[in-house]
Structure 1
Amino acid sequence: MATTGFTPDEMMTIAAARALSNDDVCFVGIGAPSAACNVARLTHAPDITLIYESGTIGTAPSVLPLSIGDGELCETALTTVPVPEMFRYWLQGGRITVGFLGAAQLDPFGNINTTVIGDYAHPKTRLPGGGGAPEIASSCGEVFITMKQTRRGMVKAIDFFTSFGHGKGGTDRRDRGITTKGPTLLVTDLAVWRPNSETKEFEVNSLHPGVTREDIAASCGWDVRYADSVEETPAPTEEELGTLRDIKARTAAAHSRKAS
């Protein structure tokens, strides 16, 4: 049963969680991707395999991790392998179906910047960097991206290529010898986007409840394109919303205890 009284962030997380399946082996990013993946695990995809960059495989955290080094991940994992094995055998070996990433800057073709804002030598803002995201973007079967929608985040041209998406669009990714699908889904707090099958430019496929095309245009830095058929994203169900709020509450309580 759909429910009312949810926030844009909750809609984003739940819409992203729905894209995951029981059979997926998912390389999870910290933050919104982690929330989405764990909501999927706790609702419709209990057999999903969640992998974090620190080498934890089949992890099932009861609270959301603060970082890839959070002890909760190792304690609840089926096994933990060395990071080189994680990247060489699991990731580059083609054993991971979905990479779930966030972005500081994103362009219409799914290229991600998490390195610098402005000139690389003299940046306005130094960002956390790529970590394992460049390898995830290249080696996972496909990539899902989740981020809040803002004009400074969704830009016509990113300041630095941290993680390669579809490059200049069209066949650019394949022409460079990258055989995986690349970004196939973008979920924001306003809409669900997918790349056009030919141009590879992201198009709006569904608008979240209450969101208008004017809202989309006002919060996106590129000229927005829409799929031929645009639907409304189904509102969160009671189960989805309750699961997300429960894990968020547990996380806040656990981190509060650690801080004190």
Structure 2
Amino acid sequence: MSEAGTYTSNEMMTIAAARALSNDDVCFVGIGAPSAACNVARLTHAPDITLIYESGTIGTKPDVLPLSIGDGELCDTAVTTVAVPEMFRYWLQGGRITIGFLGAAQLDRFGNINTTVIGDYDHPKTRLPGGGGAPEIATSSGEIYITMVQSRRGMVDKIDFFTSFGHGDGGDHRQRLGIETKGPTLLITDLAIWKPDPESKEFTVVSMHPGVTRDKVQETCGWPVKFADAMDETPPPTELELTTLRDLKARTDAAHKGAKSPA
């Protein structure tokens, strides 16, 4: 497939995240950037991927991106919808989810996520949406993918609150707590692709997106960044990937504004 022309860093992030998914995955999808990535994957190279949302929709194939887990588009296009307790107990905690795809307000180098508060818990500077089902997704999914835009405010040395457990203090922290799943195995940002070091579990940059420098990655990260010895450059979006994403976003914008979706 031919390379596309001009694209944004957010588009590169979404497409790079979509590429990480396969036809065989059963993916627990977070709202926002994870939802966009999962549906681009479904509309391109992974048409048989099973997408599951927290409201209990299984095998959903939305034509537009949902505003929330309660969006009717998810139920209308799902193979089936189950009760939330069944979703968590049978599907998630039963070990049937291969990938949990999450976003983050704050993230540390070990993949621990904060979506609860910024600042002191009792007197926060900002009250965030909260964990929802993310804490359970983070511990019960086979592995976790995270996507977020890089900034020093978001990628911090120490998160203000542990909402979703990643690798804790690093190393074998998950195993010592009796958590048998892999935890965060991939971080896709608007600048780079990161994977945890096999031993320390600290996220390490393995690929930078086209035109991105090491200095730029470090400037937008709140901890000293480690780069892999063998660095790759992320392949730019193809015309198909970019068109699919943009068409999806256009349909979504039109639907949420109450306008007729483009043909």
TM-score, normalisation: structure 2 = 0.98
In the alignment, what sits opposite 1:247?
A: 248
Q: Is 2:145 the counterpart of 1:149?
A: no
Q: 1:4 deviation in Å?
A: 2.2
Distance 2:192 2:252 in 1: 26
Q: 1:2 deviation in Å?
A: 1.4
In the alignment, what sits opposite 1:40?
A: 41
Contact 1:22 1:48 in 2 (8 A): yes
Q: Is 2:184 the counterpart of 1:180?
A: no
In the alignment, what sits opposite 1:101?
A: 102
Q: Is 2:7 the counterpart of 1:6?
A: yes
Q: Is 2:207 the counterpart of 1:209?
A: no
Q: 1:228 deviation in Å?
A: 1.5
Name stretches of at least 5 consecutive residues in structure 2 with no aligned partner.
Answer: none
Q: Secondary structure at the match of 2:40?
A: helix
In the alignment, what sits opposite 1:238?
A: 239
Question: Given residue 58 of structure 2, which amino acid in structure 1 is its aligned partner?
Answer: I
Distance 2:167 2:156 in 1: 15
Distance 1:140 1:219 in 2: 29
**Per-residue CA distance 1:54-101 (angstroms, 9 max, x = gap):** 000000000000000000000000000000000000000000000000
Distance 1:192 1:174 in 2: 25
RMSD between aligned alpha carbons? 0.6
Q: 1:251 deviation in Å?
A: 0.2
- Percent sequence identity over matched residues? 77
Q: 1:227 deviation in Å?
A: 1.1
Q: Is 2:122 the counterpart of 1:127?
A: no
In the alignment, what sits opposite 1:49?
A: 50
Distance 1:3 1:50 in 2: 27
Contact 1:4 1:235 in 2 (8 A): no
In the alignment, what sits opposite 2:221?
A: 220
Q: Is 2:24 the counterpart of 1:23?
A: yes
**Per-residue CA distance 1:122-181 (angstroms, 9 max, x = gap):** 000000000000000000000000000000100010000000000000001111100000
In the alignment, what sits opposite 2:83?
A: 82
Distance 1:228 1:96 in 2: 32
Q: Is 2:197 the counterpart of 1:196?
A: yes
Distance 1:52 1:250 in 2: 20
Distance 1:32 1:215 in 2: 22
**Per-residue CA distance 1:220-249 (angstroms, 9 max, x = gap):** 000000111111100000000000000000
Distance 1:17 1:237 in 2: 12
Question: Given residue 230 of structure 1, which amino acid in structure 2 is its aligned partner?
Answer: M
Distance 2:98 2:229 in 1: 28
Distance 1:230 1:175 in 2: 32
Q: Secondary structure at the match of 1:144?
A: strand
Q: Secondary structure at the match of 1:184?
A: strand
Question: Given residue 84 of structure 1, which amino acid in structure 2 is its aligned partner?
Answer: P
TM-score, normalisation: structure 1 = 0.99
Distance 1:89 1:217 in 2: 41
Distance 2:96 2:151 in 1: 34
